[in-house]
Amino acid sequence: MEALFYVIPVIVIVGVSVMAARTISRSRQISGAWNHGLTAEGRCLRTYTRTRGGAGDTGAGDTGVRTTLHHVYEFTTREGRVIRFDEANGPSTVVEGDHVTVYYLADSPERATAHAPARGKLAAGTGGVLVFLGVVIAVCVGFMVIAHTMFTEADGLLP
């Protein structure tokens, strides 16, 4: 039973660490595309929203609802390869049929972005996510320390 007080926080820490790594990776991809990538004219093929939360998803009472706007873009690389990609949180002013500038790295055009360069916004967003994930890790470590202290005091002396 005591092991659960260590195993579950470790599982959460591993999951949060993976999320942090993915956040940093995507941020570096976008930054690299803006700084060292190529540009192409792309076209918005489709827009849609993805909604999460609410009473329908959880079966529990009223919960917060989060709606994310997605765009599906298509562009042609300089080598003539047609690439289609889906990107979340794009501008709501871009609608189906609009032409946009796409930023991509030549070695990975499928990881393109149509977000306009906004380095400060990218850094702030990435930093905010990493701070939040760091707090989650700190809470898990604190929980394990408190649990360890409680169990060792209950058993007497430290082994």
Is the confidence at residue 141, as pLDDT, over 50? yes
| pLDDT band, very low/low/confident/very high, at 149 (cuts 50, 70, 90) | confident
Q: What is the pLDDT of residue 79?
A: 94
| pLDDT band, very low/low/confident/very high, at 148 (cuts 50, 70, 90) | confident
User: 61-116 pLDDT, tens per residue?
Assistant: 557 888 999 999 999 999 999 999 999 998 999 999 999 999 999 999 999 999 99
Is the confidence at residue 158, as pLDDT, over 50? no
Q: What is the pTM of this model?
A: 0.77
Burial class (CB in 10 A: 0-12, 13-18, 19+), 42: buried
Q: Count CA within 13 A, CB hemisphere, residue 85.
A: 21
Please report, for residues 3, 7, 34, 63, 150, the alpha-carbon distance to residue 158 in angstroms, rounded to integers and kept in the order given: 16, 20, 55, 44, 11
